[in-house]
Chain A
Amino acid sequence: MNVEEALRDAMAAQVAGVHAPPSLGQAVRRRSRRHVVRFRTAGAAVLTAAVAVGVPVALTARPDAVPAAGGLTGTGATGAADPAASASAPGSDDTVAVPGGVVPDVVGKSAAEVNALLKEAGYTVRVTKVVTEEAPAGTVFAQMPQPGTAAPAGAAVTITIATTAGPAPSATEGTQDPRMPQDLGDLGDGRTLGGVHVGYLPEGLEWGKWSGKDGFGKRSYTTSWVEPGLEPGMYSVQMIVYRKDAASVLAKRMQGYAAQGAEPIEAGGRKAYLVSLSEGGDQINDGGTRTIVWTLASGVGVEVMISPDYAAKIGEAAADRELKKIAAGVALAK
């Protein structure tokens, strides 16, 4: 059997049992409607905000009426700063046009699961965290608005995720993707691995509670940091430490970047390459993943990349600044 046939056969076997569900058409149409509704809700929110600015006295003069409206729509949870949530406040005529959904009960579920669930239901998700022993880390401890509350599509639902102050490796298992290796055990804040310490990370990131060993050559170590609530398997910032054999592979890659015309920059007093890389990491590629690589010490190379999602969120210039700051803060662990 030649390789093309073998591959065709393997692919066929892989998906033979998969069939699109009959409900697909319904699901697609529901999504399409939600798309339209979300647009409309945003319009209504702008209108409401304008009205609120125009009549602050009317609002403050009726202190009782405002929380009552908030209880219905989620304003109470997200505060007055979120006009989208107050789409059904008095003065917004579009309220009638927005079919009110019902906020699902998400307390006790894993943060990643809940994020998907709420988005699926058409809500914007906001995440806060609380250190508590009362719920397993990584699960939703509280939610606002309460389950069963009517809220229009597009409204913000705030979920509070339980975290622990100290390391608690067993408590995080529920949020882990079982396919991912967990090679280095509990890394605490995740900032020290492979003999290297990360002194600076962008604000708001936490350890991805995952690590890998030797995936990038013999004596390589990797881990990632994420924005809270990111779905399993995704990352915001990932670092790979290369030592010994792996370090020489990285050194060759760096020579390759120079050969492709990349100009070295300076990060923390060392020569580094800040480039956009294709998957595989050997080719410079416009629109690839922003990555910084450098040699930290003899036989120790480091690579830090920023996920395309996170880069898009903070902006490309900010992403490059953060990469340089992270690189400048990396040092050999004492």
Chain B
Amino acid sequence: MTEEDEAAFDEFLAARSTALLRTAILVCGASASDAEDMVQSALEKVYRHWPRIRHDNPEAYARRVVVNGAISKARRRRVLQEITFAQPPETPVESPDLGLRDVLVTELRKLPARMRAVLVLRYWEDLSEAETAALLGCSVGTVKSQAARGLARVRARMESLEGASA
């Protein structure tokens, strides 16, 4: 690795690492320190291949490593609750004082990891359906159906909250 490579890697970190960290937190629903560990290990892979990939969209590469790491981490966690899509949640809201944002973030955390990743990539990273599909290694159809189911779930939660406060 040349000095120029090293400098370019530092520039890449300065520009992109905060965004990667935020994406990791949202996708794996983990604490900042857990997510930081995941981002470090993803960036280590980026660094290892840096001279080869630096001219070929390193950001997309890093994002793919981070997102896939976050999904596999979430899968290894024990399951606390069944995820149902048929009916809206039984309890209207955990607590009426909880703000809409907190409720939505909690709801997002309850989704299966891959579905959550689709929502984060589509609505946080603003990736297109095709880009999201390419990153996750699935079809555009899957991205569409996962996004629709995830949004429906979040919408049901939002409506039950609005119903409660009305």
Chain A residues engaging chain B, CB cutoff 8 angstroms: 3-4, 6-15, 18-21, 24-25, 27-29, 31-32, 35, 180-181, 208, 210, 212, 215-217, 220, 222, 224, 233-235, 238, 240, 249, 278-281, 289, 305, 307-309
Q: Which of B10, B25, B77 contacts A25 (CB 8 A)?
A: B10
- Residues of B contacting A: mostly: helix
Residues of B within 8 A of A217 (CB): 82
In the complex with contacts A3-B154, A28-B44, A31-B41, A11-B108 CB distance below 8 A: yes
In the complex with contacts A20-B18, A308-B75, A32-B44 CB distance below 8 A: yes
A10 near B105 with CB under 8 A, answer yes
A14 near B76 with CB under 8 A, answer no
User: Distance (Å) between the CB of A21 and the closest chain B CB?
Assistant: 8
CA distance in complex: A24, B20 (Å):
12
Closest to B48 in A: A32
Closest to A242 in B: B82
Q: Which of B44, B81, B101, B123 contacts A14 (CB 8 A)?
A: B101
Residues of B within 8 A of A14 (CB): 25-26, 101, 105
B9 near A25 with CB under 8 A, answer yes
- 21 A–B contacts from the bound complex (CB under 8 Å): A7-B119, A8-B124, A11-B120, A11-B123, A11-B124, A12-B124, A18-B25, A24-B17, A27-B40, A28-B13, A28-B43, A32-B44, A180-B80, A208-B78, A212-B80, A234-B76, A235-B77, A235-B78, A238-B78, A249-B82, A307-B76
CA distance in complex: A28, B6 (Å):
12
User: Distance (Å) between the CB of B103 and the closest chain A CB?
Assistant: 8
A25 near B13 with CB under 8 A, answer yes
Instruction: Say yes or no for B63: interface residue by CB 8 A criterion.
Output: no
Closest to A8 in B: B123
CA distance in complex: A279, B158 (Å):
23
Q: Which of B25, B82, B112, B113 contacts A215 (CB 8 A)?
A: B82
Instruction: Say yes or no for B83: interface residue by CB 8 A criterion.
Output: yes
Residues of A within 8 A of B80 (CB): 180-181, 212, 215, 222
CA distance in complex: A322, B77 (Å):
20
User: Distance (Å) between the CB of A321 and the closest chain B CB?
Assistant: 21
Chain B residues engaging chain A, CB cutoff 8 angstroms: 9-10, 13, 17-18, 20-22, 25-26, 32, 36, 39-41, 43-44, 47-48, 72, 74-83, 85, 100-102, 104-105, 108, 112-114, 119-120, 123-124, 151, 154-155, 158
B40 near A31 with CB under 8 A, answer yes
User: Distance (Å) between the CB of B72 and the closest chain A CB?
Assistant: 8
CA distance in complex: A215, B84 (Å):
11
User: Distance (Å) between the CB of B19 and the closest chain A CB?
Assistant: 9
CA distance in complex: A184, B81 (Å):
15
Q: Which of B13, B36, B78, B100 contacts A233 (CB 8 A)?
A: B78
In the complex with contacts A8-B124, A20-B17, A216-B81, A35-B25 CB distance below 8 A: no
In the complex with contacts A10-B105, A18-B32, A224-B21 CB distance below 8 A: no
A279 near B40 with CB under 8 A, answer no
Q: Which of A11, A216, A224 contacts B82 (CB 8 A)?
A: A216
Q: Which of A6, A21, A222, A234 contacts B100 (CB 8 A)?
A: A6
B13 near A20 with CB under 8 A, answer yes
A280 near B21 with CB under 8 A, answer no
B123 near A4 with CB under 8 A, answer yes
Q: Which of A4, A25, A279, A307 contacts B114 (CB 8 A)?
A: A279
CA distance in complex: A243, B78 (Å):
20
User: Distance (Å) between the CB of B118 and the closest chain A CB?
Assistant: 12
B18 near A279 with CB under 8 A, answer no
Residues of B within 8 A of A18 (CB): 18, 21-22, 25, 32
A19 near B18 with CB under 8 A, answer yes
CA distance in complex: A238, B81 (Å):
12
CA distance in complex: A181, B9 (Å):
43
CA distance in complex: A134, B75 (Å):
36
User: Distance (Å) between the CB of B3 and the closest chain A CB?
Assistant: 14
